[in-house]
Chains A and B, each alone.
Chain A
Amino acid sequence: MNLFIHQILSGLATGGIYASVALALVMIYQATHLVNFAQGEMAMFSTYLAWALMQAGVPYWVAFALTVAGAFVLGVVIERVVIRPVENSPILAVVIVFIALLVIFNSLAGWIFSYTIKPFPSPFPAEPLFGNSYVSSHELGSMAITLVVLLLLFGFFRFTPLGLAMRAAAQNPVSSRLVGIRVGWMLALGWGLAAAIGAIAGMMVAPTVFLEPNMMGGILLYAFAGALLGGIDSPGGAVLGGFIVGVLENVVGVYIGTELKLTVALVVIIGVLVVRPSGMFGKVHVVRV
């Protein structure tokens, strides 16, 4: 029983990682109705920038803030410069551009920073809360940060005019233009925010898994699964999906064995999706002829 609780808590900790990346995916989806496969690599690259700043002596929270701002700018620039020319191309052409970005960022990170793993500092204390041996302070802290970002995001989309404009631009660009929304800049803003959220996720993930260019690969898959499981158009659903995937992965690993952990976890997720094709909390889209 003790092991079971341990595994659940550990699963929630890993799930927190997936949830934070899932949020970035949801962000980009809300803004553009596309899933950016390069999100993980952009997050990893931003984390390297933070690392480089800290190596140069910049204190943690300053580097954190600079990185988030820098990632935002990077996201905006990429949207305006790289994605804009293919905006009106078939969807798969855009997907190929995402794949290209993924490959470029991964390759650049390996070239500039080399492939040896680097420790990344955590802003949270090293001793676990109340001396428990289940979850570290860092894991709790990152979960807290993920929830804070989630709340901010929810508030942004629900209660601010800018958030509303962004959702409109993604859902119906033509009508949005008619009411005066600058669709192009909404997309860029969406990318910027997604990149910023990704950077935060990367900086929360790196202390646990160690910083290296291939750090985000496995995480992106689970984050993607979690986001879809919860419903890609629901930030809260995506976060919940991320946590569920983390716990599921651990539980399967313990009771079915680690050799098929990945496979079984994915089968379960797909199974849920077959029953509820829009995810647990996603909106069911009605398609008209």
Chain B
Amino acid sequence: MHKTLDRITRRTALALAFGAACFAQNAAAQAAKYGPGASATEIKLGQTMPYSGPASAYGTIGKVEQAYFKMINDNGGINGRKVNLISLDDGYSPPKAVEQVRRLVEQDEVLALFQTLGTPSNSAIHKYVNAKKVPHLLLATGATKWGDPQNNPWTMGFNLSYQSEGQIYAKWLLKNKPDAKIAILYQNDDFGKDVLKGVKDGLGAAGAKMIVKEATYEVTDPTIDSQILTLQSSGADTFIDITTPKFGAQAVRKAFDSGWKPLHLLNNVSASIGSVLVPAGVEKAVGAITVAYYKDQNDPQWKDDPAMLEWRAFMGRYYREGDPKDQSNLYGYLAAQIMTQILKQCGNDLTRENVMRQAANLKQFKLPLLLPGMALSTGPTDFFPVKQAQLQKFTGTQWQLFGELMNTDAR
């Protein structure tokens, strides 16, 4: 009796085990789905970067991202697959961007586009990419129009949107300095105008009285000293500075040297201590305010931060020729971390549809290089991963966060 029971049990167990094994194998074989650019061993991503031309300073972002994926690959890849990031030069020229993206999609057949840089280039390709249903992720630009799942379901931005940044400055001024006389300097392109729009929208009706002078500059202008003088003569006591690093440094220096010394609201792009404030002269930037959503590596307060040390080790090992003081090198690392998370979430379903699904499925994803307390989240109708930021003030040696983590009106 006992023996028969044993035999039955053993047979059942064996049968169950066998059935389970078959099921598992079947399930695994079914679950591994590959779209273009993905296989059991490789995931292909594509991007265009301005390695030459007027925006070549940002080319380092592409390089740091390639270095990051090399590190990932050295450590086994993502779910056992190596990531191949194909990075092409578009010289910040929209026609070239179109050509290179068509090559990535039609010849190289990448799984997804990642961190294509520049609003003009992205404007040129987004219709094509959406028509071809290729995930167009984590665009390296803060233009607000990239969070529009209804019209561009395959495009998702990353940066804190420029308009949100402008609005933060405006709202802060309305609350803390409502009688400010504001002078604004902005780069005469989509970036400058986008932040400006945010500022004006944020100020609302009060803006007409508060903004006393605006001035623009071109990227080809050698200096902006003349514009600073014009703004100074308007009698403004608050200066909203929407510039890129070289001009931000000039603005910081001239606003001090000319004796103006206004309350300086410096936009995030030009807030790097290493690339902007040190060349300008840190003593001239004391009191400047900016918005941030990730840590500045030149900030002494993060000197022993474990995530920062990890980043430095990465730079030393995988991207020696990169400048550790350049903010872009931290930004690119962060973006690559998010992409890695999206790919991880895909598991074995590496189709373009699933990549897009997972990109729109970031639930409170925390990254240690973001500001303390921040988390990224996206959803089917929410294509703005970064929706929080905090203001910080420059003390002469570091950016000091103040106030609280704000939720931006992600539009």
Contact = CB atoms under 8 A, between A and B. Distances in A.
Given A136-B257, A210-B250, A14 B222 contact: yes
Interface string A8-34: 001101100100000000000000000
B60 A114 contact: yes
A88 interface: no
A258 B217 contact: yes
A118 to B, nearest CB: 7
Interface stretch (A72-80, A173-181, A196-204, A249-257): A249-257
B279 A117 contact: yes
Contacts of B258: 133
Contacts of B233: 2-3, 6
B50 to A, nearest CB: 10
A247 B60 CA distance: 36
B222 A116 contact: no
Contacts of A222: 222
A213 interface: yes
Interface of B: 52, 54, 56-57, 59-60, 188, 215-218, 220-223, 225-227, 229-230, 233, 245-246, 249-250, 257-259, 274-276, 278-280, 321-323, 325-326
Contact of B225 (A3, A14, A110, A210): A14
Nearest to B248: A117
Given A222-B222, A254-B230, A262-B218, A110 B56 contact: yes
B281 to A, nearest CB: 8
Contacts of A208: 222-223, 225, 250
Contacts of B322: 114
B83 to A, nearest CB: 25
Interface in A97-130: 107, 110, 114-119, 128
Interface in A140-192: none
A209 B246 contact: yes
A253 B246 contact: no
17 contacts: A6-B229, A10-B229, A110-B52, A115-B57, A115-B60, A116-B325, A116-B326, A117-B275, A209-B223, A212-B57, A218-B218, A250-B226, A253-B215, A254-B226, A258-B216, A259-B188, A262-B220
Contacts, number: 103
A133 B220 CA distance: 26
A254 B234 CA distance: 12
Nearest to A259: B216
Contacts of A115: 56-57, 59-60
Contacts of B326: 114, 116
B185 to A, nearest CB: 9
A7 interface: yes
Nearest to A249: B226
Across chains A and B, which 4 residue pairs bring their CB atoms closest together, nearest first?
Answer: A119-B279, A218-B220, A115-B57, A3-B233
Interface residues of A, number: 41
Contacts of A217: 220
Contacts of A218: 218, 220-222
Given A10-B225, A209-B246, 14 more contacts: A6-B229, A13-B225, A14-B223, A114-B322, A117-B57, A117-B249, A117-B279, A119-B278, A136-B257, A208-B223, A209-B222, A209-B250, A214-B56, A219-B222
A107 to B, nearest CB: 7
Contacts of A118: 279
Contact of A14 (B220, B226, B274): B226
Given A218-B222, A259-B188, A259-B216, A117 B246 contact: yes
B113 to A, nearest CB: 23
Contact of B321 (A114, A212, A249, A250): A114
Nearest to B280: A119
A259 B218 CA distance: 8
The residue among B220, B278, B326 with the most chain A CB atoms within 10 A of its own CB is: B220
A107 B52 contact: yes
The residue among B52, B57, B259 with the most chain A CB atoms within 10 A of its own CB is: B57
A126 B311 CA distance: 37
Contacts of A110: 52, 56
A11 B226 contact: yes
A133 B56 CA distance: 34
A221 interface: yes
A257 to B, nearest CB: 8
Interface in A208-231: 208-210, 212-215, 217-219, 221-222
The residue among A133, A214, A215 with the most chain B CB atoms within 10 A of its own CB is: A214
B325 A258 contact: no
Contacts of B230: 3, 7, 253-254, 258
A6 B226 CA distance: 9
A14 B59 CA distance: 29
A253 B227 contact: yes
Interface string A246-273: 0001100110001101100000000000
Contacts of B229: 3, 6-7, 10
Contact of B249 (A210, A253, A262): A210
Contacts of B59: 115
A136 B250 CA distance: 14
A253 B225 CA distance: 11
A44 to B, nearest CB: 12
Nearest to B57: A115
B222 A253 contact: no
A259 to B, nearest CB: 5
A116 B220 contact: no
B134 to A, nearest CB: 29
